[in-house]
């Protein structure tokens, strides 16, 4: 387990980074990951252990963006995408590209009710450590930013890790990610066995503008 430049990863005290150095920049420069003793940072460490290539790539992208743009009030599009995915990302592993298309278009009933059986050929993995923290006390509105990975659902974790790391590059943007209301995934909670579960428009929202009658093209 190393950074993109080959430095060994080490989990260290939260105050390890010198004042003024950004968290991701410190990791890229030293391989040292400042870690607090709380669920958020613990889940982050677990993801480093499970998906080291992906985490190293995300760190490299964020560190490069910081070096180029500095730590500003607003993140640029690349750093924004990397941060959102790192914190709130999920992997939607499936060779069925119909379901991802329905999710992108917010066609929730078609995705979760009418094609429910198709989810037996889908594997959902949480990647974002903030997402995992939220799922510790789950609520209906938790929505992940999912990246579709076209691999068999039984693909080894190492193969998934490599595939994801190759998918995220300098052109990575939030538009590559799909909205995934996590508790809507069939089987992830008992309540979603009832089709009425998906009638909650505060969670399963229409595409912006659709409710007002704006056509989508």
Q: Which residue has the higher pLDDT, 174 or 207?
A: 174
Please state, in angstroms and rounded to a whole number, the distance separating the CA atoms of residues 193 and 185. 10
Mind listing the pLDDT tens digit for each residue in 51-74? Answer: 999 999 999 999 988 877 666 656
DSSP code per residue over the chain: -B-TTSPBPEEEETT-SPTT--HHHHHHHHSEEEE-SSHHHHHHHHHHHH-HHHHHHHHHHHHHHHHHH-S-SS--HHHHHHHHHHHHEEEEE-S--HHHHHHHTT-HHIIIIITGGGGGG-EEEE--HHHHHHHTS--TT-EEEEEEE-S-TT--HHHHHHHHHHH-STT--GGG-EEEEGGGSTTSSGGGGSGGGGG-TTTSPPPTTTTTT----
The per-residue pLDDT for 214 is 38
Phi-psi sector, 209: left (phi>0), alpha (psi -120 to 50), beta: left
pTM summary value: 0.87
State pLDDT tens for residues 129-151: 999 999 999 999 999 999 999 99
Q: Does residue 204 contact residue 137 with C-beta atoms inside 8 Å? A: no
pLDDT at 217 (0 to 100): 31
Listed in sequence order, the residues at least 6 apart from 125 whose beta carbon sits closer than 8 Å to its beta carbon are 90, 91, 93, 160
| Residue 99 pLDDT grade (very low, low, confident, very high; cuts 50, 70, 90) | very high
Residue 101 has what pLDDT?
93
* Average pLDDT over all residues of the chain: 90
Dump pLDDT digits (tens) for 177-210: 999 999 999 989 999 999 999 999 999 998 876 5
Residue 216, pLDDT above cutoff 50: no
Residue pLDDT, tens place only, 17-51: 888 788 898 999 999 999 999 999 999 999 999 99
The pLDDT value recorded for residue 212 is: 41
pLDDT grade for 79, boundaries at 50, 70 and 90: confident
Q: What is the rounded average pLDDT of the residues 88-100?
A: 93
Provide the residue ranges of all domains of the chain, joining segments of one domain with +.
10-85, 87-199
Angle at CA of residue 148, ends 135 and 57, nearest 5°: 80
Which residues, other chains included, contact 49 with Cβ-Cβ below 8 Å and sequence gap of 6+? 1
Residues in contact with 110: Cβ distance below 8 Å, sequence separation at least 6, in sequence order: 102
């Amino acid at each position: 387990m190393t950074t993109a430049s080959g430095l060994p990863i080490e989990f260290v005290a939260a105050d390890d980074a010198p004042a003024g150095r950004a968290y991701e920049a410190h990791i890229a420069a030293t391989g040292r990951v400042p870690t607090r003793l709380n669920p958020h940072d613990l889940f982050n460490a677990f993801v480093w252990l499970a998906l080291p290539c992906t985490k190293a790539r995300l760190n490299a992208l964020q560190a490069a963006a910081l070096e180029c743009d500095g730590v500003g009030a607003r993140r640029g599009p690349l750093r924004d995408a990397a941060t959102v995915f790192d914190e709130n990302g999920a992997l939607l592993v499936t060779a069925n590209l119909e379901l991802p298309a329905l999710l992108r278009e917010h066609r929730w009933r078609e995705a979760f009710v009418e094609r429910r059986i198709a989810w037996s050929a889908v594997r959902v993995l949480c990647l974002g450590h903030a997402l995992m923290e939220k799922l510790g006390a789950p609520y209906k509105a938790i929505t992940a930013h999912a990246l579709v990975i076209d691999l068999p659902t039984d693909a080894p974790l190492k193969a998934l890790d490599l595939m994801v790391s190759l998918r995220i590059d300098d052109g990575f943007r939030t538009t590559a990610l799909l909205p995934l209301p996590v508790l809507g995934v069939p089987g992830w909670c008992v309540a979603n066995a009832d089709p009425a579960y998906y009638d909650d428009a505060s969670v399963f929202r229409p595409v912006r503008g659709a409710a007002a009658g704006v056509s989508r093209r």
